[in-house]
Chains A and B, each alone.
Chain A
Amino acid sequence: MKWTDPVASIRRRWGRHRQEQEGAVRTLVSNLPYEDLKKKDHPNCQYKSNVIKTTKYTLWSFVPKNLYEQFHRVANLYFVGLAVLNFVPVVNAFQPEVALIPICVILALTAFKDGWVDLRRFQMDQKLNNLPCLVYSRIETGFVERRWKDVRVGDFIKVVSNEIIPADILLLHTSNPDSVCLMETANLDGETNLKQRKVVPGFSAPNSPFKPGGFKSTVVCERPNNDLNHFSGYIEKPDKKKLGFGIDSLLLRGCTTRNTDESSGIVVYAGHETKSMLNNSGARYKRSKLERKLNADVLYCVLLLFSMCLIGALGHAIWLETFSDVPLYMVPDSEGRFIPPTLAGFYMFFTMIILLQVLIPISLYVSIELVKMGQVFFITQDLDLYHEETDTRIQCQALNITEDLGQIQHVFSDKTGTLTENKMVFRRCTITGTEYSHSENAVRLAVLGETDASEDEVTLFQQRRKRRQPSLFAEDPGEAAGRCHDAQADVASYQSSKVAAGVHSDLAFSSPLETEVVPDRKLLQVVLEADRLREGGSLDQGLNQGLERSLYLDFFVALAICNTVVVSTATAQRQRVKGRRNSYAPQTVWGRLRGFLKKTGSPWSASKFVAGKQEPLADPFAADEEPPDISDTPDIYTTTPEGGNPKTQSEVTSNQAQRQRPDPTRPGSASPDDVCYESQSPDESALVHAARAYGSTLLERTPDRVTVLLPHGTLLSYEVLDILTFDSTRKRMSVLVRHPHTDEIILYTKGADSAVMEILEDPAGESVSQCELRKRVCSNTQRHLDMYARDGLRTLCFAKRVVSQKAYEDWSLIRQQAISAIANKEKLLMDTAILLETNLTLIGATGIEDRLQENVPETIEALREAGMQVWVLTGDKTETAVNIAYACKLLDHKDLVFTLNTNNKAVCQSILESTLEEVRRYGPDPVFRGLGEGFGVQASGDLGEDPTIGLVIDGRTLSLVLEEEDLRSKFVELCRHCRSVLCCRVTPLQKSTVVKLVRDKLRVMTLAIGDGANDVNMIQAADVGIGIFGQEGMQAVMASDFAISRFKHLRRLLLVHGHWCYSRLSNMVIYFFYKNLAYVALLFWYQFFCGFSGTAMIDYWLMIFFNLFFTSVPPIMHGIMDQDASKTTLLSFPELYKIGQHSEGYRRSAFWIAMLDAFYQSLVCFFIPYLTYQGSDIDIFSFGNPMNTVSLFTIILHLAIEINAWTVVHWVTMLGSVLLYFGVTLAFSAICVTCNPPSDPYWIMQQQMADPMFYLVCLITVVVALLPKYTLQVLRGTLAPPPLLYARQLERQPPSGEEQIRIDVSQAPPDPRFTLSGLSSPPPSSPPSPIQTRHPQKL
């Protein structure tokens, strides 16, 4: 639980105030001239020092501050109020001191926890603050070692290679000749690629030593902020010359420098003002749905408490009225007076509150926190949520919404990186209007993809084989076998290469999939020829032919240089990654091609093999006949003749074994041309690798130079004049380079097709033939682009422009101004970029495939069966998105898909209305189906009748829809009818708006999942935000509540852990309400026999212990460990998830039933002992003792009925509680002679345990108390088993049936009819066709 800390907010406000004093910018100067002055005389003294203190408390402030914070919780105030009330003599119910115990225990526990956490923070701070670093000292004229905490703004710092940067430093000098410094930001955002930082442009000449003493300039930069990707400012030299700089000159605290011996600079931000510290926000607090509901029930408890107290107060007053005279036993106050009955009744009200306080389940809040901690522990420990390749577990950052995972109704998913791997693979390209399909590459990818799949399903395919074999063999055993034998060999060999690479796969782009592009042979020839021509100098002839040829070369040069990929060569590799990816790198293009051909047999047989599979660029409807089927992939094994099978098996297993240890036979040395590319976006590296496959190898990149190796060995070293970086408005990036030979200034632009196509040069001014050519190129390319998009490929267009020297000079002047601007810099930079990016010549376009992650269709299928609506929100274009949607089974070909795409609001409205009309015709209001219906065999029938509806909407239309309230509600209404909704081309803001819209309008629990920075809004807007450790940094992960590494983990996280957490917690919460009432009501009933005077017949200590120790552990363990159904059951029957979705575990009715049961049980627990001992000589505490014991047994055994799975832990805690009770009570009544004045516990327990009546009373009371619940439970289990019970009963069935069910459901067969029917017949074996052996991801 978290409370707002007023101290912190004051501090924050004060801090802000101080920042305001600082003005809009921060100006700082060198500290060196003032080195010997006192600290406060420094010009930079108002800026924070580099000391960090993340602790909340100091040694002295701990107790007061912690108490202060704790008293911000209402629950604690309640406790304190009660304790204070107890000190008022007229109303006190117990010894005042005793009443302090619960609050003290709770405060102490919380304080201990807070203190421990804070101590750990303190230790960490200490460690950081005392790290050494090199600071320049004027007095010593050199860098001296200081502690991090001594660093101040304005100091000069030297960072040596592989050292952690102590503060945000403006880079002024590096030891690298090209004035760059490489920095690894893994600590900051988890991105493992190196980022290049450069010295402030124009500040110092390379290769000269750095002289901080001579730094007389003033640094002006922005105020500290938490934007990791933005920073701007300028250095004003003494001569008023301004040098602009940006984020690429800032070394960030917490990052590590790599490959750079020394880098030095001036500290700009220190300590808490550094970007990394500003980005550090602690664990967030979200309130779960169940908790909100629970709070309402706590209010009911308060009401109940008040009415009980009122009854007590009235009862007392009336009881007092009945006496005409003062009875003997009435004790006057110390002055000997008696208070009037009304006043006594009034006081009694408060006494009753103290007496019955336990009714408000304060312990519940503490218990819930404990339970959630336990649940989080088990979630993070789940092996199935662990991703072996990246060595990541699931991370739970929000500790208190575990049970929300079990109540999700809407899932909003990002596409790229979430559904797909975000590992880009170069698939196709079109150059000057000619398409190259790269079919060999496709084949290779297909084979590799199958390898992937086979790993996951090795254990499954055998079962499947048994079922399918006959039909498969009936087809064409011979041919199929032969073909698959080839493929099988490939699988084996590729797997082994993957094995070697898998170890290092922390760098996502290093797997052979992305780097090994098999060139299209035709294209390769053309390129080689073009290069040969260029060598011969015959390219520059004005011929069309020549021009086109040169464009081919240009295309690959653009591919290679138009990016921000950092090259790290084998010699300059990071230390920690030494020796990685060596299995394939040494091979040259030819070598690799040869190797590939060898693997597939002879070149000719390979191409023949390919020819069989070569598929024309598919339009999405072609797939209608043969829906791609991911689960069919294992068929490749099933078609192998019997003899072949064992071999495959052993190969696969041996490969897996190989995976466990590094292969010693791999060559460890790296060849000189072993270059590694590190890029921030995966498509960039895919393109660079593609260029390399065609011989245009990017060899080196420095801020001003980029070197490319051409196919015939020519080294071209372009001078980089400028890089116009990517932004989401322009949707393109460009590099401006000077050709080393011709001195031409060339602008290469790469971008989304729409962004590039609209700025192409107008062909009007040129000759007719040129014009024709251009037009043809354009239209062809556009056609190809459309095809690519339909095929689910990501498209990028490449264009170039030759800029004249004059134009460049003019432009660079404006550019320079923009760079040194502080205000509005982004906008100015963008404007200047647009200025230059005109009149481009289209070179070509590429299609990059983003492969679906494994098991995505199954996961979506399962989520959907679990009653969740899955939406995909993507920034991609509609065609691509739709295609991926089909591939991942989000849309089905039987679905009725509506597409909303319009610019006009009126049109939009009418479309919405008509669609809504149509949709309504198909089915009545889709009220969420109840559990009974969605579950079981009978559900299959009604599915054929009404088609499921999908909706595709694009960003423009969406923004129209979102504008107006009326349209919004129509849209939401429409979406309610849709099974799936696909939003394309949406901005991050729209994503979050959509999530909020659905969340608020439909009042549903939403989950958003994404991997990129653009998903952060959405993740934060949803009830549960899930981040994926992806290729695009850690922003999404950091903003998320849970972070997983694969999309498929979502299924297990929600269906298993979500369900468990929800059912466990809801059970526990209800149980706590029940438990408290059942116990407190005992005291209440006693009031009727003691004149409502507030007497407790149970010793107060035992009452406290009862709640704190005797009955607290079993429910907590229950909340952490119970399993109402096993993992397999939950995965096999996703329908079970609906229990949580419909909040069936924790309903108001369940609450009231529990309360009624509690009342009944307390009546039994009170009145059976009462009737037994009535009229006898029993004393108060001997009377209370059997009741206490009986309630303990009742409460514990009540839980025993609730427990679904008894493990050792359950037994231990249950028996332990009972033993503890007897132990403590016996010890207490043996020791406490006079220790607890008002009550008389001495020897009572011993006395009673020697009396057979005690046992007889206990036995019958417990039986009578639990009989109704037990009987009802039995009747329910027999007559109307709820789905869960039904599933568990099924689980008990003989394995044959169970196995069948599990296979049917968990493998998500291709046809939705069968999946939804769940438990019915196995899917029919569809005849295998060449297409089916393809992986469905290769659309």
Chain B
Amino acid sequence: MMASSYNAKEEDGHHSGAVGPGGAGTVKIKKPDNTAFKQQRLPAWQPILTAGTVLPAFFVIGLIFIPIGIGLFVTSNNIKEFEIDYTGMEESSPCYVCAHNYSWNNTTPCICLIPFVLDQPFESNVFMYYGLSNFYQNHRRYVKSRDDSQLNGDKTSLLNPSKECEPYRKSNGLSIAPCGAIANSLFNDTLELIYNFPNGTTITIPLMRKGIAWWTDKHVKFRNPGGNDNNLTTAFAGTAKPLNWGKPVYELDPSDPDNNGFINEDFIVWMRTAALPTFRKLYRIIQKKKDNMMPTLPQGNYTLNITYNYPVRSFDGQKRMILSTISWMGGKNPFLGIAYITVGSVCFFLGVVLLIIHHKYGSRNNNADIPN
């Protein structure tokens, strides 16, 4: 009862009350419980790491990793990839003129044609990427410069975008849709692929412009204001186009209402900011032929038809077009395969070393330990 004078003790759980010890037959109230937990006697597994005990682990790792590595390496090698730089920095490049005469306000498109040769046919679906180098899409202020609510179709955000979009938030008193630096710097080159038959005829290869963005992005994250059925022009009424854009957002793909406005897939892909300054973004998909007899892209001569709009000279950037087949492991990258093979070998080697050590020293310890 008087224990309040001794708060310190109280808090320890010792009730130094008037009860006190004593009296005949006092129960031992303070006796701690004899449980395994409280007495710290819980059954425990006490691994001791010695060469003898961990030897198998090293061998197992080695034996698992090496096959995985080989598998990865082979898969990566089977992926066909073709890359062409069309920045136009060298005078020899067909795009040299375009690259140097460029400004965002150009009204007449600058078109350049780059011929290239595929040495081997590309089977199955071929993915067409554009690649940018030295483009820091991961710059902190750049990354932030967007309004996800606006892109999600939120009406209030449409007319009053987030402050994060500054200074690409308003233009002439109208709010910009889509606002922010990311949208403003949307990649706007147009790439076309033309196959030159050996006989001289050309055919423009059909490129799928849908299916390049994440399904969830297209259907959940990005939405046009007022739903996708409405007339986009009215939905975006009262907004301005981003400064660098030639046309408003609702004219990104007038041909397909399912690919227009915020849910335009080129736009969505661009808005998913790249992690590293050198990146590629999926541009189009070339679907494999129905009849399966012909490869998707047979080997031969091609021409890349570029509507050159996007300036990269200010940051010494490079623009590339990449054609790639893909496998279960994504694009071509031999690194992981090599890494697995290396680590597997190292583990195997360590296993052998430990085996030797175990034979030389481990037994010595054991002998010393056992008294007989």
Q: Measuring CB to CB, which residues of chain A are less than 8 angstroms from any residue of chain B?
A: 52, 54, 93, 117, 120-121, 124-125, 127-128, 131, 164, 186-188, 190, 192, 254, 256, 276-277, 279-280, 282-283, 323-336, 351, 376, 378, 380-383, 386, 388, 390-393, 395-397, 503-504, 506-507, 576-580, 661-662, 1089-1091, 1093-1095, 1097, 1121, 1123, 1127, 1168, 1170-1180, 1182-1184, 1201, 1204-1209, 1233-1234, 1237-1238, 1240, 1242-1243, 1247, 1251-1253, 1256-1257, 1260, 1263-1264, 1267, 1270-1271, 1273-1275, 1277-1279, 1281, 1285, 1288-1290, 1292-1294, 1296-1297, 1300
Contact = CB atoms under 8 A, between A and B. Distances in A.
Interface in B306-338: 311-315, 317, 328-331, 333, 335-336
B340 interface: yes
Contacts of A1172: 333, 335-336
A1253 B25 contact: no
Interface centre among A378, A392, A1183, A1233, by most chain B C-beta atoms within 10 angstroms, is A1233
B26 interface: yes
Contacts of B330: 1176, 1251, 1253
Residue in B2, B65, B277, B335 with the greatest tally of chain A CB atoms within 10 Å: B2
Contacts of B129: 1177
B336 A124 contact: no
Interface in B23-39: 23-26, 28-34, 38-39
Interface in B337-356: 339-340, 343, 346-347, 350, 354
A1279 B357 contact: yes
A396 B12 contact: yes
Contact of A506 (B11, B21, B140, B354): B21
Given A506-B22, A1091-B139, A187 B11 contact: no
B237 to A, nearest CB: 23
A388 B274 contact: no
19 contacts: A256-B18, A328-B185, A329-B137, A329-B185, A334-B166, A335-B167, A388-B28, A391-B21, A1091-B277, A1093-B136, A1175-B278, A1180-B138, A1180-B275, A1243-B220, A1253-B329, A1260-B339, A1270-B54, A1278-B51, A1285-B48
A506 B276 contact: no
B275 to A, nearest CB: 3
B39 A383 contact: yes
B46 A93 contact: no
Contact of B21 (A332, A392, A1173, A1209): A392
Contacts of A1178: 274-276, 279
Nearest to B61: A1263
A1173 B2 CA distance: 68
A1177 B354 contact: no
B311 to A, nearest CB: 7
Contacts of A580: 22-24
A382 to B, nearest CB: 7
A1177 B279 contact: yes
B200 interface: no
A662 B138 contact: no
A1206 B277 CA distance: 45
A507 B22 CA distance: 8
A636 to B, nearest CB: 29
B282 A1177 contact: yes
A503 B25 contact: yes
A1095 B140 contact: yes
Contact of B3 (A124, A1123, A1257, A1289): A124
Contact of A327 (B31, B166, B315, B335): B315
Contacts of B164: 1237-1238
Given A329-B142, A395-B12, A1182-B275, A577 B23 contact: yes
B152 interface: yes
Range, interface on chain B: 35 or more
Which A-B residue pairs are the 9 nearest by beta carbons? A1183-B275, A327-B315, A1205-B44, A124-B4, A283-B8, A325-B314, A1234-B148, A506-B22, A1207-B42
Contacts of B144: 1237-1238
B337 to A, nearest CB: 10
A115 B52 CA distance: 54
Interface stretch (B91-99, B108-116, B362-370): B362-370
Contacts of B162: 1237
Contact of B340 (A1180, A1237, A1260): A1260
- Which of B143, B339, B346 counts the most A-chain CB atoms under 10 A from its CB? B143
Given A283-B11, A1090-B138, A1179-B275, A1297 B167 contact: no
A1175 B279 contact: yes
Nearest to B29: A391
Contact of B167 (A326, A336, A397, A1290): A336
A330 B6 CA distance: 64
B273 interface: yes
Contacts of A351: 140
Nearest to A123: B4
Nearest to A326: B314
Nearest to B354: A1274
Contacts of A1289: 48, 365, 369
Contact of A282 (B7, B49, B154, B168): B7
Nearest to A322: B316
Interface string B149-166: 101101000000010101
Given A334-B167, A397-B9, A1176-B280, A329 B30 contact: no
B139 A1095 contact: yes
Contacts of B277: 1089-1091
B234 interface: no
Contacts of B7: 54, 121, 124, 280, 282-283
Contacts of B30: 386, 391-393
Contacts of B80: none
Interface in B167-202: 167-168, 181, 185
A1292 B26 contact: no
Contact of A1294 (B145, B154, B370): B370
A190 B9 CA distance: 12
Contacts of A1182: 275
Contacts of B273: 1179-1180, 1240
B370 A1293 contact: yes
A1093 B278 CA distance: 16
A329 B135 contact: yes
Contacts of A1168: 339
A1234 B185 contact: no
Nearest to A1247: B214
Contact of A1273 (B28, B31, B49, B139): B49
Contact of B20 (A192, A254, A1089, A1290): A192
Given A327-B135, A503-B24, 11 more contacts: A187-B3, A276-B2, A328-B312, A661-B25, A1089-B275, A1175-B280, A1176-B333, A1234-B148, A1238-B143, A1256-B336, A1289-B369
Nearest to B216: A1243
Chain B CB within 10 Å, residue with most, of A396, A1095, A1264: A1095
Interface in B213-239: 214, 216-217, 220-221
Contact of A1089 (B47, B138, B217): B138
Given A1093-B139, A1274-B50, A1274-B354, A328 B336 contact: no
A1070 B301 CA distance: 63
Contacts of B272: 1179, 1240
A1267 B347 contact: yes
A121 B4 contact: yes
Nearest to A506: B22
A1242 B216 contact: yes
B100 interface: no
Contact of B6 (A127, A280, A506): A280
Given A1091-B139, A1179-B275, A386 B18 contact: no
A1243 B214 contact: yes
A1274 B343 CA distance: 18
B207 interface: no
